[in-house]
Structure 1
Amino acid sequence: MAEQQIRFDDGASYEQMMGIWSRSAGEIFLDWLAPPLGLRWIDIGCGNGAFTELLVERCSPAEVQGIDPSEEQLAFARTRPASRLAKFRQGDAMALPFADSSFDAAVMALVLVFVPDPAKGVSEMVRAVVPGGAVVTYMWDMAGGRSPLDPIHSEIQAMGIVPTRPPRMDASRMEALRDLWIGAGLEDVQTREITVNRTFANFDDFWTTNLKSPALRPTVATMTSGDVEMLISRVRARLPADADGRITYSARAHAIMGRRPK
C-alpha cells in the first residue's frame, strides 16, 4: 500500500465525511472513559473540532486546548459552539507547545496513525499530563480492515491498484497500542473495541461523501474512467442497499487508556 502524508485541510468536507463517524465512536469512547468533570484537557490532532465538541458538551472541562497542524481545520473548529471554551492553535503532536504537567488528560481521537513517530507522540502526551493524569486514544482498526473507508480501499486493492494509506497504519492494531502505552511507562492500561454503524441515504450519498477523503480522492483521481466505473460496481455489490436504497455498514475502532505514574 502506498504510504504518504495525508493532509486534512477542509474542515467542512471532513465534517461530512468523517465527523459523523467520529462523533458516534467518540460518544462510546467517553462513556467507557467516564472521566470526572472539570478536567483540563488537551485534544491532540483535534482537526475540525468534532471530538473537542464532545468534550465540551459532555465533560464540563475546566480547559480544552486543541492542537492540529492544519490551520484550515482549526478555522472550522473555531466556528463550533465548543469555541466558547476550547482554544485552538496550530501545533505538532510530537512537540506539543505546552509545559510539562499542564493537563489532567491528553487525548488523540482518530489521529495516531498519521503521526510520523507514534511513540514520540505518546511520550509527548505523557509529558503534558500531570502525574496520575489520563493518556487516551481511539483509532480506526485500519490494519484489520475495519475503517470507514475500507469498503472502498479493499476493492481498490482487489483491482490491483495500490491505495493511499496513512504512514503508520500498524499503530491501529490493539497489540501495537498496548505496546506503545506500556512502553511509555503508563499504568492501569485498559483497552476496548468500539463498533459503530452509519447509514447513507443511497449509494450516491455514500460515494460522494467518501470521495471527499484526502486518503481516497487522490487514488481515484489517477484511475481511468473504466476503472472508476468498475470500482463503483464492485463497492455497490459489496454494500447492497436495503429496500429503501439506504447503505448501512459498520466500522471498528480500538481504544486505549492509561495513567502517568504518580
Structure 2
Amino acid sequence: MWALGDAYERYVGRWSRPVAAEFLRRLDVPPGRTWLDVGCGTGALTEAVLAHAHPAAVVGVDPSEGFLEVARARVPDARFAVGDATDLGGRNADVVVSGLVLTFVPDAAAAVGEFARAAPYVGSYLWDYTSGMQMMRLFWDAATDVDPAAAAHDEGRRFSTVSGAEPLRALWTGAGLRDVEVTGIVVPTVFRDFADFWEPFLGGTGAAPAYAATLPPEQLNAVRDLLRSRLPEQGPIELTAKAWAVRGAR
C-alpha cells in the first residue's frame, strides 16, 4: 500500500504540499535550526521546510524505499534515510515534524514519545478523515452504499482515535510536551474533471485506493458511477481538505 511514490503524489501528495506550507507558517520556528521529518513520504513536508523554514539541515526518514526514491529526486538538497517513527535510531534535531503519518503508526503514543525524545520542539498534522477531507469522505460514503463491508475500511471510523483535535492534544500532553496547541488547516482541492478526481483512487497507494483494488470490476464501476452522479457533471470539481495541526515544546 505504501510502495508507489508516484501514485501517492497523484492521490494526496499534491494536496499535502499547501497544508505543509501553512503548517510551517504556524510553527514559526526561527531559521538556522536542524529538522527531522518523520514519515517524510515523497518529501512534501521536507521540501516545504527547505523553502519556508530556512533550516541549517533537514533529514527525512520513512520506512518505504519507494517513497524515498521519489523524495530524493524531488528534494535533492535534503538527506533521506529508511527509518521508523517509533525508533529514530538515536537521531536528534532541534525540531521534529511529521505530516499525515501518525494514523498509520501502530503505536502513535510511542511515536510521539520518540519525537519528544529526539527534539525540544515537535509538530505534526493529520487529515480530518471524519468529515474534513472531502475527496475521501465522498469515496467512502459511495463505497459503503455499494458495499456495506467498506465501512470497516473507512478512515473516518478507523482513525477517529488519532485524527482529531482532542486525540492529538492528548498524545502531545501524554508525551510530556507543554504549550500544546491544536488548530485546523483548510486548503482547496480542485480537480480538473471527474477523471482527475477518480483515477488516483485506482493507484493502489493509500487506504482508499488499496480498498478499491480489492473490489471486483462490477462493484468498482458501481462506486465510480455513484460518485459521478454526486459530483458536478462539468469540471472543475472544487472541494476542500482539512487537516488538524498540533505543536508542543519539551
Q: C-alpha separation between the residues in 2 aligned to 1:12 and 1:221?
A: 17
One-letter code of the match for 2:65?
Answer: E
Instruction: Flag structure 1 segments of 5+ consecutive residues without an equivalent.
Output: 1-6
1:130-174 Cα distance to aligned partner (Å, 9 max, x none)? xxx2110000012x2323422101211233132535665521011
Correspondent of 1:90 among 82, 89, 93: 82
Q: How many residues align?
A: 244
Distance 1:35 1:239 in 2: 40
1:146 has 2:140 as partner:
no
Per-residue deviation, residues 51-89 of structure 1 (Å, max 9, x unmatched): 100101111111111110001111111112x322x1100
Q: Match of 2:117, SS?
A: helix
- Any gaps of 5 or more consecutive residues in structure 2? none
CA distance in 2, matches of 1:168, 1:92: 20
- What is residue 257 of structure 1 aligned with on the other side? 247
Q: Tell me, in whole angstroms, the C-alpha distance in 1 between the residues paired with 2:76 and 2:69.
A: 11
SS of aligned partner of 1:255: strand
Q: Label 1:205 to 1:47 Cα distance change in 2 as closer, same or farther (>3 A).
A: same
User: Does 1:191 pair with 2:178?
Assistant: no
Alignment partner for residue 123 of structure 1, among 103, 109, 113? 113
Report the secondary structure of 1:65's partner residue. strand
Deviating more after overlay: 105-114 vs 164-173: 164-173
Task: Measure, in 2, the Cα distance between the counterparts of 1:230 and 1:25.
Answer: 32
Where do 1:19-168 residues align within 5 Å?
19-80=13-74, 82-84=75-77, 86-99=78-91, 102-129=92-119, 133-142=120-129, 144-147=130-133, 148-159=135-146, 160-162=148-150, 164-165=153-154, 168=159
Alpha carbons 1:15, 1:50 under 8 Å: kept: no
Distance 1:247 1:186 in 2: 40
Deviations 1:160-210 (A, max 9, x none): 132535665521011100111111111111111011111111101111123
- In 1: Cα distance, 2:213 partner to 2:101 partner: 25
Distance 1:186 1:94 in 2: 17
Write the distance in 2 (CA, Å) between the matches of 1:109 and 1:183.
19
**Is the 1:241–1:248 Cα contact (8 Å) retained in structure 2?**
no
Given the alignment, which residue of 206, 211, 221 partners 1:219? 211
Task: Give the SS at the match of 2:240.
Answer: strand
Amino acid at match of 1:78: R
Provide TM-score, normalisation by structure 1. 0.87
Deviations 1:75-122 (A, max 9, x none): 111112x322x11000110011124xx211100101010010000000
List per-residue Cα deviations over 1:7-49 (Å, max 9, x = no partner). Answer: 3111112122222110011121112112211111000000111
Find 1:210's aligned residue among 198, 201, 210: 201
Letter in 2 for 1:114: F
Cα RMSD (Å): 1.7
CA contact 2:8–2:206 (8 Å) conserved in 1:
no
TM-score, normalised via structure 2 length? 0.91
Structure 1 pair 97–217 and aligned structure 2 pair: CA distance change class (3 A)? same
| Structure whose residues are more often helix by fraction | 2
Q: What is the alpha-carbon distance in structure 2 between the residues aligned to residue 107 and residue 154 of structure 1?
A: 31
Q: Which residue does the alignment assign to 2:173? A: 182
Shift of 1:241: 4.2
Structure 2 counterpart of 1:175, one-letter code: E
Measure, in 1, the Cα distance between the counterparts of 2:5 and 2:213. Answer: 21
1:256 Cα deviation after fit: 0.6
Report if the CA contact (8 A) 1:189-1:259 is conserved.
Answer: yes
Equivalent pair of 1:192/1:254 in contact (CA under 8 Å): yes
Q: Distance in 2 between matches of 1:123 and 1:89?
A: 20
Deviates more, 1:86-95 or 1:31-40: 31-40
The 2-side partners of 1:234 and 1:70 are apart by 33
Counterpart AA for 1:226: E
